């Protein structure tokens, strides 16, 4: 009887030990560094510049919801982009560029509802504030190059015109901001540095002046944008009022 009890206790300890170790390995799997399948194709120059940022970015992509192995898509001044196994792209903000990526998400979310723009823009954008990651569809295809400049510039003009009534212009134009998706044509994936106009610009300026929002750009640049839009997308009286507030802040308008 006693021997049976001891054996039972031993067996229970054994089961517990195994249970614990399998739990530990589960934890290691879900929090371990994700695999970047095309790591050997990332240029050395990029690896040198990014250093430890690359691993950190891959981890944040997983925390923002990436499933399975990651494929590195590219990196720029604002973000490092991976696609996951479900075809979702994660643009992880580089240090100090969080506000820029949040703003890019704002533009993409708006563009999704604008006929004439939404056809040419990466879909389903949302911003994961906690991990500072812009999540949207992964667009498969080669990046735009100088050989497509005139075609891409045409699409860009279309996006710009379609967005203007909604308070935004197109982002800065660059060929490699587009992916040439088969059967769909050029799709804009990099929407950073879009300018606001009209009501969006007025609201943004008011938010910045009241301290509700930290601007991405210098106050001088916001005042300049308002002056540009005076009597165009912003009524002159509204523009003058805002410019006076900027002058009161010591901004040369
Ligand atoms: N949603 C996406 N699907 C596929 N590739 C993408 C996507 N977003 C970005 N990329 C690729 O990653 C590169 C870097 O991303 P990008 O948004 O341009 O970053 P940055 O704003 O820092 O320039 C792009 O040039 C593009 O090749
Ligand atoms: Mg870019």
| Domain formed by 39-188, architecture | 2-Layer Sandwich (3.30)
190 C-alpha to center of ligand 1: Å? 6
- E strand or H helix at 188: strand 185-188
Neighbours of 205 (CB within 10 A): 25
Distance CA 97, CA 101 (A): 6
How sure is the predictor about 29, in pLDDT bands with cuts at 50, 70 and 90? very low
Every domain of the chain with CATH number 3.30.200.20 lies at 39-188
Instruction: Report the pocket of ligand 1 as residue ranges, CB < 6 Å.
Output: 73-79, 81, 89, 91, 122, 136, 138-139, 143, 176-177, 179, 189-190, 192
CB 92 within 8 A of CB 132: yes
Distance CA 5, CA 185 (A): 72
Residues 146-161 have pLDDT tens digits of 999 999 999 999 999 9
SS3 for 181?
strand
Distance CA 191, CA 106 (A): 10
CB 184 within 8 A of CB 175: no
How sure is the predictor about 22, in pLDDT bands with cuts at 50, 70 and 90? very low
Instruction: For the chain, give the longest Cα–Cα distance.
Output: 96
Mean per-residue pLDDT, 150-173: 95
Task: For residue 196, give the DSSP letter.
Answer: B
Q: Is the pLDDT assigned to residue 31 strictly greater than 80?
A: no
Distance CA 199, CA 164 (A): 10
Ligand 1 pocket, mutate which of 99, 177, 190, 194 (most atoms under 8 A from CB): 190
Mean pLDDT of the chain: 91
196 C-alpha to center of ligand 2: Å? 19
Tokens of 84: 């996951």
Q: Is the dihedral of CA 91, 92, 94, 99 positive or negative?
A: positive
Residues with CB under 5 A from ligand 2 (ion): 76, 190
Residues 102-138 have pLDDT tens digits of 999 999 999 999 999 999 999 999 999 999 999 999 9
Tokens of 20: 């614990």
Q: Please, how many CA atoms are within 13 Å of residue 250, restricted to the half-sphere of its CB?
A: 1
100 C-alpha to center of ligand 1: Å? 14
**Integer angstrom CA distances of residue 210 from 42, 152, 160, 206, 234:** 44, 38, 29, 6, 19
Q: What share of the chain is helix, strand, coil (3-state, %, to 5)?
A: 50, 15, 35
Task: For residue 176, give the DSSP letter.
Answer: G
CB 167 within 8 A of CB 198: yes
Task: Mention every residue, 6+ apart, whose C-beta is less than 8 A from residue 239.
Answer: 226, 227, 229, 230, 231
């Amino acid at each position: 009887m006693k021997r049976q009890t001891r054996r039972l206790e031993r067996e229970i300890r054994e089961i517990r030990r195994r249970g614990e170790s399998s739990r530990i390995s589960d934890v290691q799997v879900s929090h371990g560094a994700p695999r970047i399948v095309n790591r050997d194709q990332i240029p050395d120059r990029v690896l040198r510049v990014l250093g430890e940022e690359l691993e950190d970015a891959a981890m944040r992509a997983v925390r923002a919801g990436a499933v399975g192995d990651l494929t590195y898509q590219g990196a720029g001044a604002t973000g490092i982009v991976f696609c996951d196994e479900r075809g979702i792209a994660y643009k992880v903000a580089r240090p100090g560029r969080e506000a820029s990526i949040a703003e890019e998400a704002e533009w993409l979310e708006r563009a999704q509802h604008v006929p004439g723009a939404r056809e040419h823009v990466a879909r389903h954008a949302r911003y994961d504030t906690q991990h500072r990651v812009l999540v949207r569809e992964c667009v498969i295809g080669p990046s735009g190059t100088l050989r497509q400049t005139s075609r891409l510039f045409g699409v860009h003009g279309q996006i710009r015109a379609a967005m203007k009534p909604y308070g935004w212009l197109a982002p800065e134009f660059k060929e490699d901001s587009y992916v040439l998706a088969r059967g769909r044509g050029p799709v804009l994936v990099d929407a950073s540095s879009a300018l606001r106009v009209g009501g969006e610009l007025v609201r943004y300026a008011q938010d910045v002046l009241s301290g509700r929002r930290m601007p991405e750009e210098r106050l001088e640049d916001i005042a300049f944008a308002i002056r540009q839009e005076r009597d165009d997308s912003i009524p002159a009286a509204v523009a003058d009022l805002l410019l006076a507030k900027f002058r009161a802040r010591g901004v040369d308008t």
